[in-house]
Amino acid sequence: MTTSPAETTPIVIFDTTLRDGEQSPGATMTLEEKLEVAALLDEMGVDIIEAGFPIASDGDFEAVSEIAKRVKRATVCGLARAGAKDIDRCGEALRGAVRPRIHTFISTSPIHMKFKLQKEPAEVLEMVRAQVERARKYTDDVEWSAEDATRTEHEFLCRCVETAIKAGATTINIPDTVGYTVPEEYFAMFRMLIERVPNADKAIFSTHCHDDLGMAVANSLAGIRAGARQIECTINGIGERAGNAALEEIVMAIKTRGDVLPFTTGIDSTMLTRASKLVSAATSFPVQYNKAIVGRNAFAHESGIHQDGMLKHTQTYEIMTPESVGVAKTSLVMGKHSGRNAFRSKLKELGYDLGDNALEDAFNRFKALADRKKVIYDEDIEALVDEEIATFTDRIKVVSMMVVAGTQGPQTASLTLDIEGTERSVQSTGNGPIDAIFVAIQKLVPHNAVLELYQVHAVTEGTDAQAEVSVRLAEDGRVVTAKAADPDTLVASAKAYVGALNKLIIQRQRQVVAQARGPEGLRLKGV
Regarding 20 and contact with Zn ion (CB under 5 A), the answer is yes
**Residue 209 Cβ, how far from Zn ion at the closest point, in Å?**
8
Q: Characterize the bridge pairing of strands 48-52 and 12-15.
A: parallel
The residue sitting closest to Zn ion, measured at its beta carbon, is: 20
Q: How many residues bind to Zn ion according to rule CB under 5 A?
A: 1
**Residue 33 Cβ, how far from ligand KIV at the closest point, in Å?**
21
Judged by CB under 6 A, the residue of 105, 138, 144, 299 near ligand KIV is: 105
Residue 59, Cβ density class (10 Å: 0-12 exposed, 13-18 middle, ≥19 buried): middle
Nearer to ligand KIV, 101 or 508 (CB): 101
Considering only residues 465-504, where is the footprint of ligand KIV by CB under 6 A?
Answer: none
Stretch that binds Zn ion, among 14-22, 294-302, 393-401, 437-445 (CB under 5 A): 14-22
Helices 58-70 and 31-44: crossing angle in degrees, nearest 10, is 40
**Residue 330 Cβ, how far from ligand KIV at the closest point, in Å?**
36
- CA separation for the pair 407, 387 (Å, rounded): 32
Stretch that binds Zn ion, among 13-21, 59-67, 73-81, 376-384 (CB under 5 A): 13-21
**Residue 56 Cβ, how far from ligand KIV at the closest point, in Å?**
12
**Residue 23 Cβ, how far from ligand KIV at the closest point, in Å?**
8
State the DSSP code for 287. Answer: P
Q: Characterize the bridge pairing of strands 100-107 and 331-332.
A: unpaired
DSSP reduced 3-state for 495: helix
196-212: b (≥16 Cβ within 10 Å) or e: ebeebeebbbbbbbbbb
Helix (H) or strand (E) holding 390: helix 378-393
Nearer to Zn ion, 20 or 394 (CB): 20
Stretch that binds Zn ion, among 18-26, 85-93, 258-266, 430-438 (CB under 5 A): 18-26
Nearer to ligand KIV, 163 or 244 (CB): 244
Stretch that binds ligand KIV, among 172-180, 191-199, 262-270, 321-329 (CB under 6 A): 172-180
Residue 411's binding partner out of Zn ion, ligand KIV, none, with CB under 5 to 8 Å set by partner kind? none
H-state helical runs in 137-240: 154-167, 183-196, 216-225
Residues 6+ apart with CB under 8 A from 176: 149, 150, 186, 207, 208, 209, 210, 216, 219
Q: Characterize the bridge pairing of strands 467-475 and 450-458.
A: antiparallel
Cα angle 68, 74, 78 (rounded to 5 degrees) comes to 45
Regarding 141 and contact with Zn ion (CB under 5 A), the answer is no
Nearer to Zn ion, 20 or 60 (CB): 20
**Residue 232 Cβ, how far from Zn ion at the closest point, in Å?**
7
Nearest to 339 by CA among 315, 305, 311: 305
**Residue 31 Cβ, how far from ligand KIV at the closest point, in Å?**
22
Three-class secondary structure assignment of 89-103: HHHHHCCCCCCEEEE
**Residue 173 Cβ, how far from ligand KIV at the closest point, in Å?**
6
Residue 105's binding partner out of Zn ion, ligand KIV, none, with CB under 5 to 8 Å set by partner kind? ligand KIV
Nearer to ligand KIV, 174 or 327 (CB): 174
Cα angle 250, 81, 46 (rounded to 5 degrees) comes to 25
- CA separation for the pair 466, 175 (Å, rounded): 51
**Residue 376 Cβ, how far from ligand KIV at the closest point, in Å?**
43
Nearer to Zn ion, 20 or 248 (CB): 20
272-298: b (≥16 Cβ within 10 Å) or e: bbbbbebbbebbebebeeebebbebeb
Considering only residues 127-166, where is the footprint of ligand KIV by CB under 6 A?
Answer: 145, 147
Q: How many residues bind to ligand KIV according to rule CB under 6 A?
A: 9
Regarding 177 and contact with ligand KIV (CB under 6 A), the answer is yes
Q: CA of 53: how far to CAs of 23, 34, 67, 187, 342, in Å?
A: 9, 13, 12, 29, 51
Regarding 148 and contact with Zn ion (CB under 5 A), the answer is no
Footprint of ligand KIV on this chain (CB under 6 A)? 20, 105, 145, 147, 173, 175, 177, 208, 210
Footprint of Zn ion on this chain (CB under 5 A)? 20
